Amino acid sequence: MEKKISPLNQAIENILFYIESNNLKGDNLLPSERYFSQNLNISRTTVRRALSKLIKQGKIYKKENKGYFVSPQKILRNVQDIYSTTQFFKSTNANLITKVLSINEILATKFLSRKLKLQLGTSISVLKRLRLLDGTPVILETSYIPTKFFSKISNVNFETNSLYSSFEQVGLTVEKGIETIEVVPPTDDDQLILKVNSDQKIFITRGNTFLENDEPIEYFNMKMVGKIIKFITELT
């Protein structure tokens, strides 16, 4: 017995086909609800439901009083990778630019001394970078590194060089990393730097990277624009 496709699923498939056949890219405007209703011969209510479902799937997004737009293609990142952000994006075809926002030194707080296994008050170097994908801010990355390690690479241009590769060149090889991932609302500073709205959610990953002797070499946090980055994992 042939199974009929519901009007809702038919509308979803036809909208996706329209996007593909017209070679629409991220942030391209879609036709109106009325257009799809008339051309698909489906009620406007069903079209609206289909568009709403596609929004939840991350395929499209809506701007009030402006219409529906195609979502930018997401960059997939495997949560099991320990590559630096620079190394990761080099493995894709993404046009990534890194901008160093600041480099300074602080004294280890109780939190950082615990994360980096340092004595309270030990000097820590803080490297803050903004990653832009095709000119759009996508990642705000802050690395906290014991100054005894960072001083070995302090002359490196981190807008063109990977942090981990730079460590490796001076005999400090990052062997493993541990990170947590959560979804949070952006702070006021996040909104300003990442150019997101207060109602948009962002990913934040926090964790450590370690040398082969399990000595922490970095504590980091990365704030990522959710509509650009998508995390995957592989079961083995």
The domain spans of the chain are 7-70, 75-232
| Element containing residue 221 per DSSP (H, E) | strand 216-225
pLDDT digits (tens, 9 = 90+) for 30-64: 999 999 999 888 899 999 999 988 887 778 888 88
Res 227: pLDDT: 64
pLDDT digits (tens, 9 = 90+) for 146-177: 999 999 999 999 999 989 889 999 999 988 88
Q: Tell me, which fold does domain 75-232 have in CATH?
A: Chorismate lyase (3.40.1410)
Mark 153-186 as b/e (b = at least 16 C-beta within 10 Å).
beebebeeebbbbbbeeeebebeebeeeeeeeeb
pLDDT mean across residues, the chain: 84
Rounded-to-integer distance, Cα 77 and Cα 233, Å: 8
| Element containing residue 161 per DSSP (H, E) | none
- DSSP sequence for 106-129: EE--HHHHHHHT--TT-EEEEEEE
75-232 has the same fold as 7-70: no
> Is 7-70 a CATH 1.10.10.10 domain?
yes
